[in-house]
Amino acid sequence: MYVGAPKYRVKVTAHDYKSAEKAINKVAKAAVGVVERAGGTGEFVRKARSGKN
């Protein structure tokens, strides 16, 4: 989900934490790779949940 330049949000739904963690790490690695191959820089930052969806 596009949040605003240069930030994006990824939402993962899974049956268990381990599956969700695996999915989010895979997506984050792929997204950062695309940005880096295009000559940019990127990083995955986990933001603390505020209790809202």
Q: What is the pLDDT of residue 48?
A: 73
pLDDT digits 0-9 by tens, 13-44 = 999 999 999 999 999 999 999 989 999 888 88
Residue 31 domain flag: yes
Q: Is the pTM higher than 0.85? A: no
Number of domains in the chain: 1
- Using pLDDT thresholds of 50, 70 and 90, give the confidence band for residue 11: confident
Is the pLDDT at 12 greater than 90? The verdict is no
Nearest Cα residue to 29 out of 39, 16, 44, 18: 44
- Let me know if residue 2 belongs to a domain: no
Is 7 domain-assigned? Answer: no
Question: Is 4 inside any structural domain?
Answer: no
Specify the long-range contacts of residues 12-19, CB closer than 8 Å, at least 24 apart.
none
Does residue 43 form part of some domain?
Answer: yes
* Residue 40 structural domain: 12-47
- Whether 4 shows a pLDDT value over 70: the answer reads no
Any domain includes 16: yes
